[in-house]
Structure 1
């Protein structure tokens, strides 16, 4: 077994945009404004990964290891469905985010670490989940580390909530958002994260599906708050965030010229789910 004496609090592997955008100051807004995960999504995961029938295994550090758990948006939708005997560990490089996750799910175990440096022995985890985060650490180093800690035939799940850009105003807001991405900032919708699986050949894909997600709704200020939690905006200096907010509000004024300010807007999501098995 490899030693689990690792420097798991270091975040030197993190992208600067993630460090600046995901921190203790932004945790409560992130938790309040990001979408939840639907019951349909959780049902699909349980069915595809056979999580209702987990047999006890000896010498496990944890049954389920969540990477990049953030404030626990996925955790609080997923964890309550598990049998109480299942050992669950939520991790994130940002201690402030994990404190919020602990408020959402007080009974979970949390550990501050990055995906490239997991403080767990070899073959001591049976299931790894990455919700809304794998694109941030989609590297051969992280995939090898996930592969290392998983048991034989252990499974890896990656999923993302994706906005419905078939709706014109959401497409316009998304196009504006993408203007704030530089070439070096990972973007889940680019699909580039898939390349590491093709190059490393450490996992075999089991399934992919797109169950219906949840939605977020509120007046235009509340919806703009959601866009402001996205790292490429949240990481900007205050004066730039103020300008960005106004640019998003201008989109609402354009597409909702006849709507009262108090009228609710809805952003629907689907969830893209990818399941893999260790080879």
Structure 2
């Protein structure tokens, strides 16, 4: 029943049409400025076109994430008849707003509905339904396969972040103590630090050159996860701590549950003692 009110192909075409109209308007102004040899005016319109398209893309991103969040919410929790009626009415309103190209207002309607449904759903995936920043860094003990995983969570929203439990953000088959830890209720701007004791899987602990985990003493990797209204951005900071250059370094960072990554950070060349940064936008799983 819920799937029947999801945006159709025509709704998505409306988004593209709106983007095309914005582009056409700016292209016309730019062409006129070029014909009149008004370079300054042409540059101004190019900058304005980029800003307008960026804002509109952000609105569409927020709306699409809100729809996927609502879909996850419907899949993961029981829904009463009253809640179902609210969902149907809100989706109908959102659909009308989408057809009018009012993507920002459509996203706002869906976000308000999600906040209402989340009131009694504390056990849901925080990486989908909340807005916060999480930083992760592994520190390894000398001549040991055991290390510490440092995790910092900061409430980057303007509302209170409810408390939740978080599992150690490590690859499958790794051991972590404790397995999960509670995150306290955080006011806007507040942060909390967690520490997990981690041990790689048997394969990752092999020390032979080229084996998984053999570079952990040469590379320092810090990963940040920024959950925003329009999606999740993952930033990897990589430092070559050795005195040797490295070629073709591929990282496969931990990805939060409910999200997927189409590609991985790849560094063709890392000079000694150098630092490189890679940023990727993750997508909600459908």
TM-score (norm 1): 0.24
Q: Which has the larger radius of gyration?
A: 2
Q: Which has the higher contact order (CA 8 A, sep 6+)?
A: 1
More strand by share: 2
TM-score (norm 2): 0.24
